[in-house]
């Protein structure tokens, strides 16, 4: 029997065994194919199905039932089913390496729509009082042809006018009458635009589509701070992420062999410095965040040839602007800046909202916000330990880069929120590397990742939707504020309990303003004790020609209840007191607002 020859009996046994194994293998492969096909079809149909459920869920939403938890307590079950189905479809898409980028883009854009277009579609007017204020500033810039005189507390925006000047230029170029024409759509549009630099940033460190799109999903699932409305901060943040992505793209780890690092093409460097100039002229805090991020990226020696030219340009632009155009604000607050440097503990603690007087639901919202923020940094730290390759990127440095500013200044109690916001793009990628860098058993990873992604989305909606009772305005509230700004003579005083009044800052350069919840503790206590006595110091100089207008509204009542700075019944007690007092005339009243006029003929003694 020659070498390699098998006995006849063994050959028969082998052929029999193979004949048995082949049908078994064929059945197994067929089942795997069927499971894969079912999974693919589920991933393909989940996106349109979730979007349909979302749109159906918005048909009947009673916004007047919002209270402690804002939109959370009025959105129907269909809305939450849509969010869960959308997340499930995204996770199933992550299993298949053949999933195209277009499907991932559809899921992320779908998430943006469900989260950020919902208030725009539901509300009859622009959301959030500060967005109305910024629309009024653009209007004032156009009316005054640039710098707005008599701006009072809003003179800050004269010193960082970039965002407002660009909007004024856009309105003139398009022929639109007001930024109100598009301001309501700013949150979904801003987040969709932000996706471009986020993807650019993530692709500088990996070409794995799952990690890139997974990081984008994590970012939008955890971005609860809400700095995406019509505001200079949102615009400057978009520019910040764009600039950091361009710088990261020049670092050694991100480079092709034919394009050596450290050599900035002149055109690209000019573009980067132009973006830095736009940031510097648009917002006071973002340039400092930019400088801190560039300093962090310059710590590794290999990065310095790329980062230092941009860092030097950003520092120079900031110093020149702050010492010239923004000098009035810098000079007036220099002592406060210096004092805050030696109070790091109070700077950090000031960002944690005092919950003693807040509504019970707001206490829950605040703790959920804190838990989500802590979870983001914890998961990023775990990824730093478990995924060693991310240490070679600049992303861990970007996560910690806002910390020096958090320690150095409180920024009115908002620095901790802004620090989280600026750290989140890099932290989101680290979390994605932890969750979506799979080896074996991808379905098991999906089973583990899905509940975690749903949990962080649950935390996001608490922070993002939890204060909507005060951020939402009815048509009646808009009408009452419009009555005041349209009929009040120049230099008439306008008084409100809080800033939650839509459009009351229109013509702010012509009317002095008083917001009672911003006054010192003694004034607020007097207002609580006796509403008329608390009002007296502000309106005693009113005359028939320059009267005082006091506006009370539904959203102001909601805000006093939610934050607890004043008692929840403050607006009702003021309404009742002014209705009985001589000199106060109710000149406008509807379901959600009332306007009182006070004009003292003597121009001396108060009510």
36 belongs to a structural domain: no
Instruction: Give the residue-averaged pLDDT of 498-510.
Output: 93
599: left (phi over 0), alpha (psi -120 to 50) or beta: beta
172 belongs to a structural domain: no
Are 422 and 293 within 8 A, CB to CB? yes
**pLDDT tier at 410, thresholds 50, 70, 90:** confident
Are 424 and 219 within 8 A, CB to CB? yes
pLDDT for 415: 87
**Per the structure, how many domains does the chain have?**
2
- Domain match, 408 and 483 both: no
Instruction: Give the residue-averaged pLDDT of 336-353.
Output: 69
- Domain match, 211 and 269 both: yes
- Domain match, 457 and 484 both: no
Q: Which two tokens stand for residue 287?
A: 């340039």
Are 237 and 193 within 8 A, CB to CB? no
- Domain match, 366 and 461 both: yes
CA pair distance 138, 161, nearest whole angstrom: 9
Helix (H/G/I), strand (E/B), else coil: 586? strand
CA distances to 127, 134, 502, 593 from 479, in Å: 15, 19, 9, 9
Are 251 and 394 within 8 A, CB to CB? yes
Are 164 and 77 within 8 A, CB to CB? no
Instruction: Give the residue-averaged pLDDT of 306-311.
Output: 96
pLDDT for 6: 45
Phi, psi of 581 (to 5 degrees): -85, 145
- Domain match, 88 and 219 both: yes
CA pair distance 10, 1, nearest whole angstrom: 14
Are 315 and 298 within 8 A, CB to CB? no
**pLDDT tier at 99, thresholds 50, 70, 90:** confident
- Domain match, 248 and 313 both: yes
Residue 404 burial (CB count, 10 A): 17
- Per-chain mean pLDDT for the chain: 88
- pLDDT above 60 (res 10): no
- Domain match, 455 and 495 both: no
152 belongs to a structural domain: no
Give residue-wise pLDDT tens across range 119-164.
Answer: 999 999 999 999 999 999 999 999 999 999 988 889 999 999 999 9
- pLDDT above 70 (res 439): no
Task: List the beta strands (DSSP E) in 440-535.
Answer: 493-496, 513-515
Q: pTM score, two decimals?
A: 0.90
- Domain match, 218 and 270 both: yes
Name the least confident of 463-467, 495-499, 543-547, 576-580.
543-547
**pLDDT tier at 27, thresholds 50, 70, 90:** very low
CA pair distance 347, 361, nearest whole angstrom: 26
**pLDDT tier at 244, thresholds 50, 70, 90:** very high
- Domain match, 442 and 573 both: no
Are 289 and 422 within 8 A, CB to CB? yes
Note down the domain range covering 297.
63-127+184-470
Q: Which two tokens stand for residue 273?
A: 């410095």
> Among the three residues 470, 495, 523, which one is the final residue of a domain in this structure?
470
- Domain match, 444 and 543 both: no
């Amino acid at each position: 029997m020659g070498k390699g020859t098998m006995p006849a009996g063994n050959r028969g046994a082998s052929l029999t065994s193979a004949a048995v194994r082949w049908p078994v293998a064929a059945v197994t492969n067929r089942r795997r194919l069927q499971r894969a096909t079912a999974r693919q079809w589920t991933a393909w149909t989940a996106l349109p199905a979730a979007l349909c459920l979302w749109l159906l869920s918005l048909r009947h939403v009673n916004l007047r039932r919002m209270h402690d938890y804002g939109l959370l307590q009025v959105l129907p079950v269909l809305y939450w089913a849509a969010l869960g189905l959308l997340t499930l479809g995204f996770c199933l898409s992550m299993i298949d390496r053949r999933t195209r980028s277009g499907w991932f883009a559809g899921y992320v854009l779908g998430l943006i729509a469900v989260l950020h277009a919902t208030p725009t579609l539901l509300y009859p007017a622009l959301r959030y009082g500060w967005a109305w204020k910024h629309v009024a500033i653009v209007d004032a810039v156009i009316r005054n042809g640039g710098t707005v005189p008599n701006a009072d507390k809003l003179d800050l925006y004269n010193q960082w006018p970039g965002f407002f000047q660009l909007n004024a230029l856009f309105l003139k170029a398009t022929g639109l009458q007001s930024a109100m024409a598009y301001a309501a759509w700013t949150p979904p549009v801003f987040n969709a635009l932000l996706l471009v630099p986020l993807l650019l940033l993530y692709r500088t460190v990996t070409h794995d589509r799952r990690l890139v799109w997974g990081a984008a999903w994590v970012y939008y699932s955890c971005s609860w701070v809400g700095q995406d409305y019509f505001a200079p901060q949102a615009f400057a943040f978009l520019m910040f992420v764009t600039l950091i992505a361009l710088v990261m793209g020049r670092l050694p780890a991100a480079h092709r062999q034919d394009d050596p690092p450290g050599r900035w093409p002149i055109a690209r460097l000019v573009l980067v410095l132009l973006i830095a100039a736009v940031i510097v002229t648009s917002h006071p805090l973002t340039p400092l965040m930019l400088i801190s991020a560039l300093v962090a990226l310059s710590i590794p020696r290999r990065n310095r040839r790329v980062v230092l030219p941009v860092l030097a340009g950003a520092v120079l632009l900031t110093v020149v602007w702050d010492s010239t155009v923004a000098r009035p604000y810098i000079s007036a607050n220099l002592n406060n800046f210096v004092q805050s440097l030696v109070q790091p503990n109070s700077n950090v603690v000031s960002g944690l909202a005092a919950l003693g007087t807040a509504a019970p639901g707001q206490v829950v919202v605040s703790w959920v916000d804190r838990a989500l923020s802590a979870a983001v940094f914890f998961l990023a730290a775990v990824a730093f330990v478990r995924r060693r390759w991310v240490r070679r990127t600049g992303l861990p440095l970007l996560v910690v880069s806002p910390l020096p500013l958090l320690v150095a200044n409180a920024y009115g109690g908002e620095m901790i929120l802004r620090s989280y916001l600026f750290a989140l793009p890099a932290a989101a990628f680290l979390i994605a590397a932890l969750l979506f860098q799979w080896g074996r058993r991808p379905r098991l990873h999906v089973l583990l990742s899905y509940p975690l992604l749903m949990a962080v989305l649950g935390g996001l909606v608490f922070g993002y939707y939890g204060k909507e009772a005060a951020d939402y305005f009815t048509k009646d509230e808009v009408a009452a504020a419009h009555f005041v700004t349209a009929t009040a003579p120049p230099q008439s005083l306008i008084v409100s309990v809080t800033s939650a009044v839509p459009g009351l800052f229109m013509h702010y350069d012509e009317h002095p303003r008083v917001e009672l919840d911003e006054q010192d503790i003694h004034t607020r206590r007097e207002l609580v004790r006796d509403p008329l006595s608390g009002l007296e110091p502000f309106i005693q100089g009113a005359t028939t020609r320059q009267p005082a207008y006091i506006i009370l509204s539904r959203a102001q009542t909601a805000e006093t209840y939610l934050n607890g700075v004043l008692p929840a019944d403050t607006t009702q007690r003021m309404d009742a007191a002014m209705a009985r007092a001589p000199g106060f005339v109710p000149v406008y009243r509807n379901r959600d607002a009332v306007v009182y006029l006070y004009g003292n003929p003597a121009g001396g003694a108060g009510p």
